[in-house]
Each structure stands twice: as structure tokens, then as C-alpha cells.
Chain A
Amino acid sequence: MNKQEILEQLAKAVVEGDKNSARENAQAAVDEGLDPLEAVDRGLSKGMAVVGANFESGESFLPELLMAADSFNAAMEILNPLIEANKQKISKLGTALLATVKGDMHNIGKNIVATVLETNGFEVVDIGIDQSTLNIIEAAQKHKADFIGLSSVMTTTMPYQKEVIETLSEMGLREKFFVLVGGGPVTQKWADEIGADGYGDTAVDAVGVAKKLLEKKG
């Protein structure tokens, strides 16, 4: 197989959620002396982008996304030691701290956002569900996050997104983090109203919005 074929096979393995093929092709990339970072960027990540787009358009569902992420990670297990040995670093676009806000136990959407951000080059710290405003802010500081991503799936818990933003302002920390909001009932209008930096209708949107904000920051 030539280099191009290996990259294509890697992407295909992710799209099809084929863990064995992901492993075999990652090994082929290593054996053929491909740059492992290129295998990630132009192989695996390309596949993940397709899966993300299919999820967004309603063509695929959480199971397909989980299988894709699983295959992605299986290939990474083979590529990672080489990346580390070469002292290469997958340059992270930024660190996102994710949480589902207080009172809200829904985590499926947030977990998808975590997977999609992670496989698109972000470092993700996921602190889980039902997180109080202060917990969220404390964790964002501790992990030196660039983004705080707040998921709220119920109208009753949306006000906590607002509370996080207000508390950041009160603590003089508002400028330190970009705040992204999302979750079923959350809208662009609500995001504007509470002064969030970005809103994502889907996890794939979240990636685009986050990248744009980083560009703006320069």
C-alpha cells in the first residue's frame, strides 16, 4: 500500500467503526515509515470529520459515533508510542473544560461533544454532570482551560449557564475563558442573551465555533 492508500484506509476504518482495520492500518503506517502525526491528521481525523458530519445531518447516531471513536482510539494506541518516541507532540488547539450544569443529569450530549472535540484536536477535561458553578470555575482555572463548555438539556437548568457567566464576571475572570453553551433547549438567542461567547447546536458545531474563537484571539 502506498502512503495515500494507508491514509484513506485509516479514514475509512474510522467511518466504518472498524477497529481491526484501524489497528492494521495504523501498523501499516508505522511499518511504511509514515509520519504518525500525518496519519492522525490526514487519516483518522478526516474519518472522524465525516462521522461528525453524518451525525449532524441525522444520517448516523450515537452508536456509529462511539464505534468511530473506539476505532480512532485503537489506532492511536499504536501511533502514540511512536509520536512520543519522536518527541513529537500533537499540537493541541486548546483545552476545553466540559460540564453539565447543576441539577442536570443528562450526559449523552456532553459526552458526544467531548468525543468530537477530542478527536478534532482539543484537550478535553470533562468534569461530569450536576456541576455547581463554583466547581466549574475552579476546575477551569486548575486546568488552565481556554474554553468552558456548558451543557444543559433542561429548561430548568439553563439559568445555571447564565450563573456561570455572571459569576465569572463577578470574580473578574470573564476574560480568561471562552464560554460555549449547548444542549437540547439552548438556542443562539439564549446564548446571546446571557453573553456566552459561542453556541453549538451540535457537537460538530462546537468544534467550528471553538476554532473560530481561537482564530479571533489570534
Chain B
Amino acid sequence: MKTFKKDYSSFQKGLGRLQTAMNGVPDRVPVFVQMHEFAMKELGMNATEFFANPDLLVGGYLSVLERFGIDVPTVDYDVYNIEAEAIGQTVIYSEHDMPDVDRSDPLIKSRDDLKKIKKPDFASDGRLATVVEINNLFCELVGETPTLNFCAPFSLAANIRGIEQLIMDILIEPDFASELFDRITEELLAPWILYLKEKFPGARSICGNDATSSLPIVNTGILRDWIVPYVQRLREICGPEIYVPNWVGESHLKNPEEMLELKLQACPNFLECQDPDVAELGPAVYKNYAEKKGVPLILGVGAAFLALSAPQEISARVKHYIEVGGQNGRFSLYLCNIGATTPAENIKAAVDAVHKHGAYS
């Protein structure tokens, strides 16, 4: 078994840079990343070992972030599965891929199943205790509390009900859908988040992951009536540090601002958007909107783009996003979901471009 360094307090500098960037002008644009699949490959581990082992998920992961010059340390695991698994949804573990819920066997098949959505036993259900352990280890190694993660209500509902079924519930059986969302929000997520807050009183941000709430999977009506309200409910119960930033798809709309406005209702403190939307609409649309609303901006360079492009193309895109997005500060750059097959030189090209073009003199 590999052992990793016991001290990653050097990341505090990057965390400070991010904090300054959120409020004003730092020394340089900070760069952060999601790369658990890439890290798994870099560390030569298979998924069964990697996703069950806090040492690898935290120590191993931080060692890869450090090696690639990433500023902001994060914890990263299969965040969409945890709460679903804790209430009994089957999750498939395999050697090569990260775990995922068994979509052929959703937990909620009928109204009767709704009672399965209840406050879990934090000590013994699923991997809830592992999540606490992961975050504890991070605090120990970095000397700061990480951003805590949970699966947001809509993505969780889709994971335990099936996305098509969930959409039909909303459209045809709204009473059932309301009960499903009420239970997920109030019986499951709120107690879990409050428990996490108690365990990690230093947590300043608690992030709900919600890729499924994206266009064209949902439309703006569903975002407005079914997705935003439950995020807001969680904020009311658990506090303003709860936010949900990662819906994509505004480039499908004639008026993208319609969705940006909704995004700010679920994530009021910053605007986060990513490729392919940003590539499609151009970074200026986002910078202008963020400035108009007085919030900082995070732009994400796309996972597929990072995996499939030449290093020069990557440098050029990073430079462009920084030049437009980084004006007057209040900006950070995100490298989306780096997969196992992404060439290491592409990540290097992206980070080098941040170092080269991101400095504020």
C-alpha cells in the first residue's frame, strides 16, 4: 500500500487565492479541478480500491493535485451515490469505473416505497461514515475544512426513481412528485446536512451536486417550479452555506439569462458555468451577467474538450476565458471532470496557461 504525505498545508495558499478571487483581485487566477478518475489512473489503482479507501481518496488525490499544480484542494468521490445508497438504492461497484446507482432497479417503484426515504443511521448506513472519515482526513492533512458535498434533491430523486419516470411524475402525478421531493429534502437531506455541519463546524460551503437538473433533460419550467424551490428549502432549514452550482444547458435557450437567473437562485454567491455552454455563447456573456449581478464568476473548461484537444488549443481557450472572465478579478477557472483517458500534457497545458496568462500585475 502506498503511503502519502501527511501534510498538505501548502494548499492553504491556493485556498487563500480562491478566497481573494471571489471577492476581488488576487495575485493570479486560481485554478481548480475535478479529476478523481484521472487520479485513480495516475495512482495505478482500480476503482474498487480507490473509491473505498479514504487514504487514497484524500491523500492520493491531493498528491495528484499537487503534482499538477492545482491551487485549490477538494475532496472528490462519487458524490451522487452516497445518500441514495444509504437508504437502500443498489449501487454497482466495478473494477474499472466509479460506482454508480443501478438504473435498472430504482428504489422507488411505487407510492408505497416512499416510506423508504427516511432519516438514515449516520453511523451504519451505506458509506455515510466513510464520507465523514474522508472529510476528517482532509481537515487533518490540509488544516482547513473542505467544501462538503451532497447530492441535490432533483439528481437524488432521479437516481432513486429513474429520470424519465421522475419527469412523468412531475407532469402527470404532481402530488406524488411533491411527496417524493418533500421527503428527500426534509427527511433525508436536511438531517444529513445538519449532521455534517455538526461534525464540521468550520464548513463554509456545502455544495449540492445536480448534473441531472440540466437542459435539455429538464426545461426552465421544471427548474423554476421543482428544482429551485427544494434547494431554497434546504437553505432555509440548513443555512445559507448550502448551494447548488452545476446545472448546464443555458446555450439551448433563446434567452440564456433566463437560466442564469435561476442559477443564481440556487447559488446566490457566485455564477458557475462551463463548456459546452461557455464555448457556445462566449465568456463575455457570462462576465457581463456576473458584473451586472455583482457576483464573482467561475468558468469551466469542458471535460470532453480537455480530453480530445491538442495542448495548443487548450492553452488558447484558457487564455481567452481568463482574458475575458478575469478582467477586474472576481474570477476563477475550473477544469471539468478530467477523465482517465485525458492526456497528462493537456492538463499541464491548461495549468501552465493559467500561470502564464492569469497573473495580475
Binary flags per residue of A16-59, CB closer than 8 Å to B gives 1, else 0: 01000000000000000000000000000000000000010010
Chain B, interface residues (CB within 8 Å), range = 20 to 34
Complex contact A66–B103 (CB within 8 A): no
Known contacts: A105-B103, A128-B104, A156-B37. The answer to whether A55 contacts B342 by CB under 8 A is: no
Q: Any chain B CB within 8 A of the CB of A90?
A: no
Partner of B307, one of A58, A70, A156: A156
A103 to B95, CA, bound (A): 10
Question: Which residues of chain B in 149-187 are interfacial with respect to chain A, using CB atoms and an 8 Å cutoff?
Answer: 163-164, 167-168, 170-172
A58 touches which of B96, B97, B216, B341 (Cβ 8 Å): B216
B219 at the interface (CB under 8 A from A): yes
Total A-B contacts with CB atoms under 8 angstroms apart: 71
How close is A178's CB to chain B, nearest CB, in angstroms? Answer: 25
Contact yes or no, B171 A185, CB < 8 A: no
In the complex, are the beta carbons of A64 and B219 less than 8 A apart?
Answer: yes
Query: Contact: B164 with A184, CB < 8 Å?
Result: no
Q: Which 9 A-B pairs have the closest CB atoms?
A: A185-B304, A155-B307, A156-B339, A61-B219, A61-B216, A58-B252, A105-B100, A103-B97, A156-B341
State in angstroms the CA–CA spacing of A128 and B103 once bound together.
9
Interface of B toward A, CB cutoff 8 Å:
37, 92, 96-97, 100, 103-104, 163-164, 167-168, 170-172, 215-219, 221-222, 252-254, 303-304, 307-308, 339-342
A80 within 8 A of B: no
Are B167 and A62 in touch, CB under 8 angstroms?
yes
Q: CA A62 – CA B215 in complex, angstroms?
A: 8
Q: Are B218 and A63 in contact (CB under 8 A)?
A: yes
Query: How close is B74's CB to chain A, nearest CB, in angstroms?
Result: 20
Complex CA gap A128/B104 in Å reads 8
Given contacts A61-B219, A62-B218, A107-B103, 10 further A-B contacts (CB under 8 A): A60-B216, A61-B216, A62-B216, A63-B221, A105-B103, A108-B217, A154-B304, A155-B304, A155-B342, A184-B304
Are B219 and A63 within 8 A (Cβ)?
yes
Please classify the interface of chain A as helix (H, G, I), strand (E, B), loop, or mixed, using the class held by over half of its residues.
loop
Q: How far is the CB of B182 from chain A (nearest CB, A)?
A: 21
Q: Enumerate chain B residues within 8 angstroms of A83, measured Cβ to Cβ.
A: none
- Nearest to A57 among chain B residues (CB) is B252
CB of A67 within 8 Å of the partner chain? yes
In the complex, the answer to whether A66 meets B304 with C-beta atoms within 8 Å is no
Give the residue of B37, B164, B307, B340 whose beta carbon is less than 8 angstroms from that of A66.
Answer: B164
CB-based contact B163/A61 at 8 Å = no
Pairs A–B under 8 Å by Cβ, sample size 10: A103-B97, A105-B100, A107-B103, A129-B103, A155-B303, A155-B342, A156-B37, A156-B340, A185-B304, A185-B308
Complex Cα spacing A103 to B73, Å: 27
Is the CB–CB distance between B218 and A61 below 8 Å?
A: yes
Given contact pairs A61-B216, A108-B163, A184-B304, A155 touches B168 in the complex (Cβ within 8 A): no
